[in-house]
Chains A and B, each alone.
Chain A
Amino acid sequence: DTGVSQDPRHKITKRGQNVTFRCDPISEHNRLYWYRQTLGQGPEFLTYFQNEAQLEKSRLLSDRFSAERPKGSFSTLEIQRTEQGDSAMYLCASSPFRGQDTGELFFGEGSRLTVL
């Protein structure tokens, strides 16, 4: 399967614990995005990378959230000291950049976080 893959698909944790999600983009894509989606809402932008550089971060991304893409391939999203309000679906997407940006994002199936 050459689509965007995310792991784990579902994480249940207790308030105050740290969690980390991993995203593997489509191999030739050099842009990678993280979104958060809560029930009944559309995806909200969190951050995006071009290769290993983090080029934009949303104000939604508090100090407890950190994202990395160390080698320009897979990315991790870590949430420290989780709160119940962090319960959501975390979506990863990727897109190619070959000088002609089509605007299309390719999404993974998401990682669902439940904070008890």
Chain B
Amino acid sequence: GDSVTQMEGPVTLSEEAFLTINCTYTATGYPSLFWYVQYPGEGLQLLLKATKADDKGSNKGFEATYRKETTSFHLEKGSVQVSDSAVYFCALRGTGFQKLVFGTGTRLLVSP
């Protein structure tokens, strides 16, 4: 079945450092790919998405590119802030399906 694998955390960075959180997926067809973020005490919220190969999703300085050849959707940000500390979830939605399949999440801790 469809699945998502993302790097284990926590990822600990200093403010203004470069961030990469790796995400790879297994799916048949052409899934849509998502990054969701969960800030402390809040519900999950969509950060960005991409619906076809080579699409780049971006939001709040974060970017991820849908790479079908490597089945990856890595999350990047050039300069993280303390306020980016949260848990990040990579997810996919398979072709013809409504449900999202999530990875296990990666906790990001950014120190001043």
> Which residues of chain A have C-beta atoms less than 8 A from B104's C-beta?
40-42
> Which residues of chain A have C-beta atoms less than 8 A from B32's C-beta?
103
Chain B nearest Cβ from A67, distance in angstroms: 14
Known: A43-B44, A109-B42. A104 touches B49 (CB 8 A): yes
Q: Does A74 contact B (CB under 8 A)?
A: no
Q: For chain B, give the interface size range.
A: 20 to 34
| Bitwise interface map of A from 30 to 45 toward B, beta carbon under 8 Å scored 1, else 0 | 0101000000111111
Chain B nearest Cβ from A47, distance in angstroms: 9
Selected from B89, B99, B101, B103, the residue in CB contact (under 8 A) with A33 is: B99
Q: Does B34 contact A (CB under 8 A)?
A: yes
Q: Does A4 contact B (CB under 8 A)?
A: yes
Q: For chain A, give the interface size range.
A: 20 to 34
Asked whether B43 lies within 8 Å of A103 as measured between CB atoms, the reply is no
Selected from B34, B41, B44, B51, the residue in CB contact (under 8 A) with A107 is: B44
> Which residues of chain B have a CB within 8 Å of any CB of chain A?
4, 32, 34, 36, 41-46, 49, 51, 89, 91, 93, 98-105
